[in-house]
A and B are shown apart, each in its own frame.
Chain A
Amino acid sequence: MNEPVTVRLKVNGVQHEGRCEPRKLLVDFLREDLGLTGTHVGCEHGICGACTILFNGEAARSCIMLAVQAEGAELRTIEGLMENGKLHPLQEAFHEHHGLQCGFCTPGMLMTALDFLRVKPEPTEAEIREGISAVLCRCTGYQGIINAVKAAAPVMRGS
């Protein structure tokens, strides 16, 4: 029962299939088996949020899920944010408002903000701070990120 298992799932609208041990973490499956290295591995225990993806439309940590648990699921990762060669409004806002420096937390930050703004389309600054507290950033001091999420909110409501 610890033999390799087949995992079939959709990532950013594309059907994928891979084989892995049941103990393989979802984030490692995305990166190593599917070659989708945009999702980052940070702390590997669900604290830093760098590996956050959308799992069936909701933000979740891919380092504390098993790949086998994603069988039949629909995922969205940072690679799926840009559409038709155009940056997503959140990416645009992070670019405009200096929402990143080294970029390590950025994939998790963007996927977290995407879910957060869907749940709270008109957030206050305090709510944004609480929302993005799910992801650790060691560069920016967060202010640029908060400004970016604030700026992206009306654009996303309109789109």
Chain B
Amino acid sequence: MKPPKFDYHAPKTVDEALALLTRYDGEAKILAGGQSLMPLLNFRLSRPAALVDLNRIPTLAYIKEVDGSVRFGAMTRQRAIEFSPVVAKRLPLLTEATRWVGHLPIRTRGTIGGSIAHADPSAEYPAVLTALDGEVVARGPKGERVLKPRDFFQTYLTTNLAADEILTEVRLPATPAGAGFAFEEFSRRHGDFAIIGIAAVIVREGSRCTMARLATAGAGPIPVRLRAAEEILEREGLGDEAIARAAAKAQELVQPDGDIHASADYRRHLTGVLTGRAVKRALTKVAR
């Protein structure tokens, strides 16, 4: 089908965009990369009075290192992230996760801010944001708010962003040098949304695990940080038994829903299996 009628605006600055959102009072939708919103418009599942297209705001696309973290302008394309040497060095988990986002032609347009604001729980970037405990910056008429993932994601496709706010920046703490990382995902076909995805970062000193970060995609209404599973690794180390216990714990920590793609039980099972695989593969990349 074709999109319904809407007013179209392509502001040149964030302030102009914010003024438009205020003017339409909740009836406008923000158009970022469009790789989720455009299909919704074509199906007429979404019928906003207006589209505020952020693609003409050049100041919203950047990747920069600031004090041990990497900051991404919301309109930074997934493709730019995939091929960024800075990201490959500082956030190799994100580079790896990006290859699971749709397909290359989708990543040409898709943006980091759009993916996170859309808050599809099966998407990769929300899982990475959650695993790394990054931050998002929301700008509204009254100024900026900086939000942690636990305060940002609310439920399926729903965030704490107000209708007159724009997600302008994503901040991810750089992975410590020598850390291991892995993004494991299972989907029926490459490029589909994850049935389950697991983001993992492991830091090891000698035989001890000094930091473990684990989060899910697809295992419930929002990405889940698997803190109790991380604690098992941090307490018991990185032997096969500890990894198996962490994987079993991961399975207990999630409450996925079943849908046409997979039952809740299968998703729970996969959460355990992929957690184990992600930790083991992350370990192979830990610097000796």
Interface residues of A (CB under 8 A from B): 1-2, 5, 21-25, 28, 44-46, 49, 52, 55, 58-61, 63-66, 68-69, 112, 115-116, 119, 129-131, 133-134
B60-112 interface with A by 8 A CB criterion: 79, 83, 102-106, 108-109
Q: Are B55 and A69 in contact, CB atoms less than 8 angstroms apart? A: yes
Q: Are A69 and B53 in contact, CB atoms less than 8 angstroms apart? A: yes
Assign chain B's interface to a size class.
20 to 34
Q: Which of chain B's residues have a CB closer than 8 A to the CB of A24?
A: 2
A24–B50 CA distance with the chains assembled, in angstroms: 14
* Other-chain residue from A44, A66, A68, A115 in contact with B105 (beta carbon distance below 8 A): A115
Which of B53, B102, B108, B190 has the largest number of chain A CB atoms within 10 A? B108
Q: Which of chain B's residues have a CB closer than 8 A to the CB of A131?
A: 104
Q: Which of chain B's residues have a CB closer than 8 A to the CB of A23?
A: 2-6, 8, 41
A58–B82 CA distance with the chains assembled, in angstroms: 14
Instruction: Determine whether B260 belongs to the interface, using a CB cutoff of 8 Å to chain A.
Output: no
* Known contacts A65-B38, A69-B55: A2-B103 contact under CB 8 Å: no
A108–B51 CA distance with the chains assembled, in angstroms: 28
What mask results when residues 105 to 148 of chain B are scored 1 for a CB within 8 Å of chain A, else 0?
11011000000000000000000000000000000000000000
Q: Which of chain B's residues have a CB closer than 8 A to the CB of A52?
A: 105
Which of B34, B43, B55, B104 has the largest number of chain A CB atoms within 10 A? B104
What mask results when residues 1 to 41 of chain B are scored 1 for a CB within 8 Å of chain A, else 0?
11111111110000000000000000000000011001101
Q: Are A64 and B108 in contact, CB atoms less than 8 angstroms apart? A: no
Q: Are B190 and A66 in contact, CB atoms less than 8 angstroms apart? A: no
Q: Which of chain B's residues have a CB closer than 8 A to the CB of A66?
A: 8, 34, 38, 53
Q: Are B79 and A58 in contact, CB atoms less than 8 angstroms apart? A: yes
Quick one: closest B residue to A60, CB to CB? Answer: B108
Q: Are B42 and A63 in contact, CB atoms less than 8 angstroms apart? A: yes
Quick one: closest B residue to A44, CB to CB? Answer: B42
Q: Which of chain A's residues have a CB closer than 8 A to the CB of B5?
A: 2, 21, 23
Further 18 A-B residue pairs, CB within 8 A, beyond A1-B50, A46-B35, A61-B109? A1-B8, A1-B9, A2-B8, A22-B6, A22-B8, A23-B8, A25-B3, A44-B2, A45-B38, A46-B106, A60-B108, A63-B42, A64-B34, A64-B38, A65-B34, A66-B34, A131-B104, A133-B191
Q: Are A112 and B105 in contact, CB atoms less than 8 angstroms apart? A: yes
Q: Are B3 and A134 in contact, CB atoms less than 8 angstroms apart? A: no
4 A-B pairs with least C-beta separation: A134-B103, A22-B8, A1-B7, A64-B38
Which of B41, B103, B190 has the largest number of chain A CB atoms within 10 A? B103
Q: Which of chain B's residues have a CB closer than 8 A to the CB of A68?
A: 8, 10
Q: Are B9 and A65 in contact, CB atoms less than 8 angstroms apart? A: no
Report A80 CB to chain B, min CB distance, Å: 17
Q: Are A133 and B189 in contact, CB atoms less than 8 angstroms apart? A: yes
Quick one: closest B residue to A72, CB to CB? Answer: B56
Which of B102, B105, B108, B189 has the largest number of chain A CB atoms within 10 A? B105
Quick one: closest B residue to A130, CB to CB? Answer: B190
Report A131 CB to chain B, min CB distance, Å: 7
Which of A55, A61, A115 has the largest number of chain B CB atoms within 10 A? A61
A63–B102 CA distance with the chains assembled, in angstroms: 15
A60–B42 CA distance with the chains assembled, in angstroms: 17
Report B98 CB to chain A, min CB distance, Å: 13
